[in-house]
Structure 1
């Protein structure tokens, strides 16, 4: 068994025979006659990701998490639509082969994509990768360059012009995340309420519309032992909008060691922020794209607000018994800390 997978968690199992039959019926030319088996990639915190093995062939299957799903989140059809074409213009995008929207097959929509080879950095630095400062600084530069390259993709040329509505994008995003907070919270947090109102009233005018990943961070990337970005994963929130939203997300998920999100991100965050400052990252991105990156505090604060909402959504699923993953228990304590830091950032 591959070293990055594990047996499937009991509550996240499915009818393997039914799914295997569906895959064989729709991907027969790719899979052939080999027996099909499944394992789980255990590292993610939201969408469920499984390894599909058929002889020497390995594929990846992704589906939404168990329990209620926030409107617009965990959109497998959106992710499949992006990955079925984006690989033509952006080599770091894995190629998607199949979308299933019939919930009778697996209990939820899912899609199948190619298996990429490399390493994902999560809470601790992988022993298989060099850990020296030079390697991590090269990696930081390559990650910033990968984000800039994505924002230079001509999304119309690959047929993704209908993926989103760039007009009013940030205002809709703020409203949507405020609504998600209201649905997921189990207590009132003044910093979250104040920040949500401030963000809604201070939306900047966008300078461009680009293809956004919308959750761009190190632990959504696969890297090589040469510090290259091999693949970018988790495209279920991809859309068209203000490029600085992606940059703000990346900066939020590259916390300094003293910041609250360091507890969540661990080495996947500080691996970069300790060798390249946020100011350097922004400068490199600006040089690569030509965008005006003034006013980044708004985008960073919004990214931190959004992250606090995501943490609350994951935590509330744990509290409701929709997952037994013990990693999710402490996340509730992080929410007010992230909110307070974001509110202070914008002068609250």
Structure 2
């Protein structure tokens, strides 16, 4: 049985990622917008861990998000966690994709998946488009927009929205180093990988353990607030949604702010070189100090412990990026990208070292 597009040609299955007979049957019995079968499908770029497809059904369009063909241990659980947090945020002022549905039956597509309303915008990566590139005032608005989105998430009462059990808040701060160092050490089992070779990783881990904050809070954290995970409108400097919630959990929301700040560049930072993922042009952006002041104003948080979170953000992100590098050496896709991410992990540890030495 061929599933036909609006041009009466078979819809592509994208290497087996979309089983059209099963998916069409599932959609038919769902409450998704539109009528009839899906008549068009386009694979979207941007997801490094999951696959995104823009589907058209009648006059409606929606985005399907699913894990890659070769599932990792927690791929299905992660997708369902994303669906859960998006549903919980439905009535909040946090900009995010609207959840339309989720499938917890992996027999439909070989993996669990979720469906979202598409967001009209772009994810900043490399050269900025249109007026963002031409107008420094538009670039100046991007930082505060990012901070306002993070602050809105920090203000959400995780218990009130049904996420009281979304993570392990007990002793969260003291568990972070062991948690991410164990993940880094676990890459040693991958064939072809000879070790992290990240200078300052041990001294940074010790510093974090020796300087634990005493005034932490627990809330929902996105877990990966980098430029590619914030979509901006084309027609005005405004965030339309935070995307890619696969690392979301319960933790101290100051880590999200620190994660954003790790994407910032200021005079005196270590040189990044070709691995720098910062958006361009950079002139016009607020300083880190201005971003910190705005976040404190919006959330009421005392910022004196923020340096610890900044160092943790660099440490944690370096551990995560090194995993992509390790998998690329063991036969996974994107060896060149793996090298790029390793170089950026090296920079993150240099930045962490610079900060710990200045305190």
Where does 1:169-208 land on structure 2 (aligned, <5 Å)? 169-184=172-187, 186=193, 187-189=195-197, 190-208=199-217
The structure 1 residue matched to 2:277, chosen from 266, 276, 282, is 266
After superposition, what is the alpha-carbon deviation per residue over 1:230-289, rounded to whole angstroms, capped at 9, x for unaligned? 111112222222121111111112234754567555343x66685211111101111111
The structure 1 residue matched to 2:288, chosen from 273, 278, 284, is 278
User: Unmatched 5+ residue regions in structure 1?
Assistant: 1-6
> Quick check: 1:47–1:65 contact (8 Å CA) kept in 2?
yes
The question of 1:113 aligning with 2:116 is answered yes
Q: What residue is the counterpart of 1:213 in the other structure?
A: 222
Q: Cα distance, 1:67 vs. partner?
A: 4.8
After superposition, what is the alpha-carbon deviation per residue over 1:105-147, rounded to whole angstroms, capped at 9, x for unaligned? 3333221111111122112212364532111111211211121
The structure 2 residue matched to 1:327, chosen from 306, 320, 337, is 337
Q: Cα distance, 1:40 vs. partner?
A: 1.8
What secondary structure is seen at the aligned counterpart in 1 of 2:43? strand
The more displaced of 214-223 and 124-133 is 124-133
What secondary structure is seen at the aligned counterpart in 1 of 2:48? coil
> Quick check: 1:254–1:273 contact (8 Å CA) kept in 2?
no
Where does 1:1-348 land on structure 2 (aligned, <5 Å)? 13-18=16-21, 20-27=23-30, 30-65=33-68, 67=70, 69=72, 75-127=78-130, 129=132, 131-184=134-187, 186=193, 187-189=195-197, 190-224=199-233, 225-256=235-266, 259=270, 263-264=274-275, 266-268=277-279, 275-324=285-334, 326-347=336-357
For the residues of structure 1 that align with 2:271 and 2:70, how far apart are their CA atoms? 27
> Quick check: 1:318–1:325 contact (8 Å CA) kept in 2?
yes
For the residues of structure 1 that align with 2:50 and 2:273, how far apart are their CA atoms? 22
TM-score, normalisation: structure 1: 0.85
Which one has a bigger Cα radius of gyration?
Answer: 2
What secondary structure is seen at the aligned counterpart in 2 of 1:179? helix
Q: Taking structure 1 as reference, are residues 324 and 138 closer, same or farther at Cα in structure 2, changes over 3 Å only? A: closer
For the residues of structure 2 that align with 1:110 and 1:146, how far apart are their CA atoms? 25
What secondary structure is seen at the aligned counterpart in 1 of 2:53? strand
Q: Taking structure 1 as reference, are residues 177 and 8 closer, same or farther at Cα in structure 2, changes over 3 Å only? A: farther
What secondary structure is seen at the aligned counterpart in 1 of 2:142? helix
For the residues of structure 2 that align with 1:304 and 1:168, how far apart are their CA atoms? 20
For the residues of structure 1 that align with 2:272 and 2:37, how far apart are their CA atoms? 44
For the residues of structure 2 that align with 1:273 and 1:193, how far apart are their CA atoms? 35
| Residue correspondences, number | 340
For the residues of structure 1 that align with 2:42 and 2:209, how far apart are their CA atoms? 43
> Quick check: 1:215–1:246 contact (8 Å CA) kept in 2?
yes
For the residues of structure 1 that align with 2:86 and 2:314, how far apart are their CA atoms? 27
For the residues of structure 1 that align with 2:271 and 2:179, how far apart are their CA atoms? 24
> Quick check: 2:158–2:220 contact (8 Å CA) kept in 1?
yes
For the residues of structure 2 that align with 1:279 and 1:228, how far apart are their CA atoms? 21
Q: Cα distance, 1:331 vs. partner?
A: 2.3
What secondary structure is seen at the aligned counterpart in 1 of 2:61? strand
Q: Taking structure 1 as reference, are residues 218 and 335 closer, same or farther at Cα in structure 2, changes over 3 Å only? A: closer
What secondary structure is seen at the aligned counterpart in 2 of 1:118? coil
Q: Cα distance, 1:304 vs. partner?
A: 0.9
What secondary structure is seen at the aligned counterpart in 1 of 2:200? helix
TM-score, normalisation: structure 2: 0.83
